[in-house]
Amino acid sequence: MTDATLTSWIDVPAGHDFPLANLPFGIFSNPRGGARPGMRLGDHVVDLSACHALGFLDGVEVNAEVLVAPVLNPLMKLGKPVTVALRERVQTLFHSDCAELRDRSDAHASCLVAMDDVQMHMPVEVGDYTDFYSSEDHARNVGKMFRDPDNALLPNWKHMPVGYHGRASSIVVSGTPIRRPMGQTRPDPDAAPVFGPSRLLDFELEMAFITFEGKPMGERISTAEAEDHIFGLVLFNDWSARDIQKWEYVPLGPFLGKNFGSSISPWVVTLEALDHLRVAGPNQDPAVLDYLTYEGDSHYNVPLEVEIVPEGQGAGQVVCRSNFRHMYWNMRQQLAHHTVNGCNLRAGDMMASGTISGPEKGSFGSMLEISWRGTEPVDMPDGSARKFIQDGDTVVMRAPYFGEVRGKLLPA
């Protein structure tokens, strides 16, 4: 059920990111036990292991071992029918009309844990990570800055979802600090490169989807099948060292300018929870090849914002308000393209959207665009200004239904 009017016997304030209609999956720990799967409901975590032990999940084909695993991968390996059934069972259990757990006050302390008492962990063990480049406005902005403004998009851009394979080991959960990377840059094009800390440290506002198991190697997933292989989504900050990236990316693309860290939100929001946010995508012109065609609304109306909080400040400056619906290529097309050559997927693979920029300056999804390559600084409430991210800054990305992902930049 995705009806936003669903009510729970647990107090969930109106407008909360995690109503009964959402119920995302995550990995939490508390003094009672180690890292294990839970679901977010308002300001509480539903302890799935405790619910299972007390018999409240009878009828769902999930075993006790899966519900005490320190990552969601074993649960995802059971496939979408099981995760959907589990979500629907918990939704029924906490519905205001269901007395089964509501009237068992002796079980409440076991099945419900206050968010103030938990620590969140990486929800999945990421096997492989792919980053796409699927926002037309972002691609055009970058093309205008670094190439011919009249031919900002490269010839292949409107024919395929362009992407590259990134580094899975440095994807971290919200709250984990990120250290400014060191590397080679070439600030003077007429001089030799130098080694030192990146001076042009940036964020990239993205969403990422996490996959179930795919098909065997050599087989492809069609756009019609793609959603059966998508577990859910997280907010994704793809930290970027623009000066390192600029010097290294020819001819093989992003490397050290990207692989030092990416941050994700802790709760995985299922596709089923987002069903009511579906919208039509843009008209794709020229027409795409047959394997990239799709039917139905496959984009999502999810408002997004980014705030920069300077060190020592309680609040910062919102520098971006964008929307996931601005994507040119959708997740179904990305997954179909990723597997069209027979590439096999595994449960826990992560695929990021690429920077999500809208058509107006206030909706640009990176400081590269917001400050227009550093020529238009953004004022902060403490009187300072930002062209790129400074040491001590905390970058916070937020979205309804997702909560937030935050990360503080530490010195090199």
- At 211, list the tokens: 């996959």
Contact 43, 103 (CB under 8 A): no
Q: In degrees to the nearest 10, what's the CA dihedral of 69, 73, 77, 82?
A: 70
What gap in Å lies between CA 22 and CA 87, rounded to an integer? Answer: 9
Peptide bond into 193 cis (omega under 30): no
What gap in Å lies between CA 35 and CA 81, rounded to an integer? Answer: 24
What gap in Å lies between CA 67 and CA 27, rounded to an integer? Answer: 10
Contact 257, 180 (CB under 8 A): no
Contact 41, 94 (CB under 8 A): yes
What gap in Å lies between CA 138 and CA 387, rounded to an integer? Answer: 17
CA distances from 65 to 77, 123, 203, 289 (A): 13, 16, 38, 44
Residue 397: other Cβ atoms inside 10 A: 29
Phi, psi (rounded to 5 degrees) for 207: -115, 155
What gap in Å lies between CA 53 and CA 64, rounded to an integer? Answer: 8
Active-site entry in 44, 95, 138, 229 = 138
Question: Terminus-to-terminus CA distance in the chain, angstroms?
Answer: 47
Q: Which residues fall within 8 angstroms of residue 375, CB to CB, at 6 or more apart?
A: none
Phi, psi (rounded to 5 degrees) for 95: -70, 145
| 138 a catalytic residue | yes
CA distances from 110 to 39, 106, 113 (A): 14, 8, 7
What gap in Å lies between CA 280 and CA 127, rounded to an integer? Answer: 31
Residues noted as catalytic: 138
